[in-house]
Amino acid sequence: VYLVGAGPGDPELMTVRGATLLARADVVIYDRLIAHSLLDLAPPSAERIDVGKRPGRPTRQSEINALLVEHGGLGHEVVRLKGGDPFLFGRGGEEAEALRAAGIPYEVVPGVTSAFAAPAAAGIPVTHRGLAADFAVVSGHRDPERAEAGWNWAELAVGPATLVLLMGMDNLAEITAELIRHGRPADTPAAVIQSATLPGQRVLRAPLGGLAARSGAAGLTAPAVVVIGAVAALGAEPVPS
């Protein structure tokens, strides 16, 4: 079983290794956010299984794990195609654990994560000499029933120079307010990149203090990556003087 990162959206951004494995797959088990044209790389005879989680049709992670173990156990070459990188907020770690526990051989094929690709698509480097020497990638969605619930605002606000927020659109007002409350200046440059690397890509830049209101007014929605920090001012269109 191969846990393959499909990249951030543009099908050209999947790795060569991923494409090679797809071309000989017996079974492709894929997520909602992957470019569907990638499925054409698999042989016509390959079984294609959509396990995308979406409102009203949730697929439980345990069911996905069971599918991987079932097909892997039958000796099929299985490509588990996941958005971005399989190990970044993609539950790929759980899938790997399930395969290991079942004694099924697997390989992880890293992918181009939206955490870097979305800023890059807007011309924003997550580190930049003199501006940002470190960054944190943060999930904007927390499950209150889980042990890791809650953010360490005090650390996030003043720690890493750049914050990259995934799954942050629903809680954007709360997240930006907490960061400011804990010491990140309200005039810190910030940007929202929606549908990065896809034809519908949209980029909005605003100071942290106005980001949630501006992005709400512009109708920006998931999937989007939010970048907060001095680097978010880079890559903008040059302003005519």
Ligand X SMILES: C[S@@+](CC[C@H](N)C(=O)[O-])C[C@H]1O[C@@H](n2cnc3c(N)ncnc32)[C@H](O)[C@@H]1O
List residues near ligand X by CB under 6 A.
8-9, 33, 83-85, 88-90, 113-115, 118, 166-167, 193-198, 222-225
Which candidate in 10, 82, 167, 169 is catalytic?
Answer: 167
DSSP 3-state of 152: coil
The reply to whether 31 belongs to the active site is yes
Separation of alpha carbons 47 and 233, rounded Å: 45
Q: Do residues 28 and 50 lie in contact, with contact meaning Cβ atoms separated by under 8 Å?
A: no
Q: Which residue is nearest to ligand X (CB)?
A: 84
The reply to whether 14 belongs to the active site is no
Q: Shortest approach of ligand X to residue 116 CB, angstroms? A: 9
Q: Shortest approach of ligand X to residue 27 CB, angstroms? A: 21
Which candidate in 31, 82, 85, 169 is catalytic?
Answer: 31
Nearer to ligand X, 154 or 173 (CB): 173
Nearer to ligand X, 98 or 220 (CB): 220
The reply to whether 82 belongs to the active site is no
* Residue 33 per-residue DSSP state: T
**Other beta carbons within 10 Å of 127:** 13
Q: Shortest approach of ligand X to residue 103 CB, angstroms? A: 26
Nearer to ligand X, 34 or 67 (CB): 34
Nearer to ligand X, 171 or 194 (CB): 194
Q: Shortest approach of ligand X to residue 59 CB, angstroms? A: 13
Give DSSP secondary structure letters for 63-93.
Answer: HHHHHHHHHHHTT--EEEEESB-TTSSSSHH
At residue 168, what are phi and psi to the nearest 5 degrees?
-105, 0
Token pair for residue 189? 């440059």
C-alpha 167: how far from chain center: 8
Share in percent of the chain as helix, strand, coil (round to 5)? 30, 20, 45
Which candidate in 14, 50, 53, 134 is catalytic?
Answer: 53
**Other beta carbons within 10 Å of 219:** 9
First to last CA, the chain: 56
**Other beta carbons within 10 Å of 227:** 26
Nearer to ligand X, 81 or 98 (CB): 81
Catalytic residues: 31, 53, 167
